[in-house]
Amino acid sequence: MRISINANRCEPSPMRKFHPYAVEAEKKGRKIFHLNIGQPDLKTPEAYYAAIRQYNEETLEYAASPGMPILIDQIRDYYGRLGVELSQEDVLVTTGGSEALLLTCLSILDPYTEVIIPEPYYPNYTTFVHAAGGVIRALPTSPEDGYRYAYKERIESLITKNTRAILITNPGNPTGVVLTEEEMRMIADIAKKYNIYLICDEVYREFCYDEECGVPTMGRFADIADNLVIIDSVSKRFSACGARIGCVVTKNKELQQALLKFCQSRLSVATIDQIGAAALYSVDHEFFVRSKQEYRKRRDTVVGLLRQIPGVMVEEPMGAFYVMATLPVDDTNKFQYWLLEEFHDQNETVMFAPGAPFYETPGKGINEVRIAYVLKESDLVRAIDLLGKGIKQYRQQVMGLDE
């Protein structure tokens, strides 16, 4: 029996390989601080639970394939508050932002067609693009330049006759880069000029900490309505990752029809979670203000502490809840194994996401890590402390440096 070419082109989760080593470390009684996963620890608003507890239909039926009107209307109201008018057909509810991405790739990519993505990028993009037979053309960035990618010439130089889309995450995972309004406009113009899709993954939309951040959504540029595909989700916005509720927002009629065919084929998104998600969209604006304050404080803590570790290079991220850091070690992948197998400080150790899997280009990201600042303040302080101690000991014991 054969496995498909496209499945073989996908990689297993780069985090997962450390899992057995983490389990072993825990068996030895080690406490692990997890900077490796983007699972926010903030409380999910009670509105979600209240709504699902009230559900009292005798039969748990399929919902409508494009999504439940109660949720679509909430999403439309939310976009209305951002200055984007959406009709009902412009929103297709999906099982998380993940399904939104997969169905978009299946709808627009043919084998060997290309998607331009700034690297480093969210590794699961690879699976979605490869599932459709597509190819990623990486737009290079550098840690020294804070991973900024909005350079017209560099983007245009990657466009070929096979380019179907530019895919960006704004605010960015893993880099925390947020585009300015001028940068957003420039990228929108490129999509328009070359008549390609612009897929904007905006699931971190509310997590934007600086004044230079551009408008909250690419949806504000009405002139690229036909090019634009927005990927959205309640996961990070409302700290409700386990609800698996996302959506695709597009005004492109042909694309709507293509997406709808895939939505119909899988019948519907979970009924109860759509009802819970609709309730989430009614939470007070104060919720976002508080979440943002909390993450901003954590960012400042993490970046401040990372800068105190000798040899660590880090640029302050403007958004999302990740920061990329360059560490003074030979290989962050090897360093992670060592932290789990050999290192501990008072029986505690730390995990991060090694940088290489965030890159398409071989050899890049070897000295980098992604740190998710989704733990509470005191845990973050201890986690970075452990990272610093680990770096020092690793440089001495493994790299043989006498400092």
Give the interface segment with a copy of itself, choosing from 40-48, 200-208, 363-371, 386-394 (CB under 8 A): 40-48
Residue 285: both structure tokens together: 């604006």
End-to-end CA distance of the chain: 55
10 sits near a copy of itself (criterion: CB under 8 A): yes
225 sits near a copy of itself (criterion: CB under 8 A): no
Mapped onto helix, strand or coil, the DSSP state of residue 161 is: coil
Exactly one of 95, 326, 333, 367 binds a copy of itself (CB under 8 A); that residue is 95
What's the CA angle centered on 383, arms 379 and 385, to 5 degrees?
Answer: 120
- Greatest Cα pair distance, the chain, in angstroms, is 70
Quote the least distance from Cβ 146 to a copy of itself, whole Å. 28
133 sits near a copy of itself (criterion: CB under 8 A): yes
Residue pair 321/42 in contact (Cβ under 8 Å)? The answer is: no
Give the interface segment with a copy of itself, choosing from 62-70, 172-180, 208-216, 348-356 (CB under 8 A): 62-70
Residue 325: both structure tokens together: 């850091």
Q: From the CA atom positions of the chain, what is the Rg in Å?
A: 21
Range 321-380, binding a copy of itself (CB under 8 A): none
293 sits near a copy of itself (criterion: CB under 8 A): no
Quote the least distance from Cβ 56 to a copy of itself, whole Å. 8
Exactly one of 74, 169, 170, 227 binds a copy of itself (CB under 8 A); that residue is 227
Exactly one of 91, 177, 184, 196 binds a copy of itself (CB under 8 A); that residue is 196
Which H or E element spans position 164?
Answer: strand 163-169
Classify the C-alpha dihedral 396-400-401-403 as positive or negative.
positive
Q: Name the H helices within 95-246.
A: 96-108, 124-131, 152-157, 181-194
Check whether the bond before 120 is cis (ω within 30° of 0).
yes
Of the pair 61, 403, the CB lying nearest a copy of itself is at: 61
Exactly one of 20, 24, 26, 49 binds a copy of itself (CB under 8 A); that residue is 49
Exactly one of 28, 81, 152, 261 binds a copy of itself (CB under 8 A); that residue is 261
Quote the least distance from Cβ 145 to a copy of itself, whole Å. 29
Quote the least distance from Cβ 36 to a copy of itself, whole Å. 13
Other beta carbons within 10 Å of 13: 12
Dist. CA 237–CA 291, nearest whole Å: 9
Range 154-183, binding a copy of itself (CB under 8 A): 164
Instruction: Count the residues of the shown chain that bind a copy of itself, applying the rule CB under 8 A.
Output: 80
41 sits near a copy of itself (criterion: CB under 8 A): yes
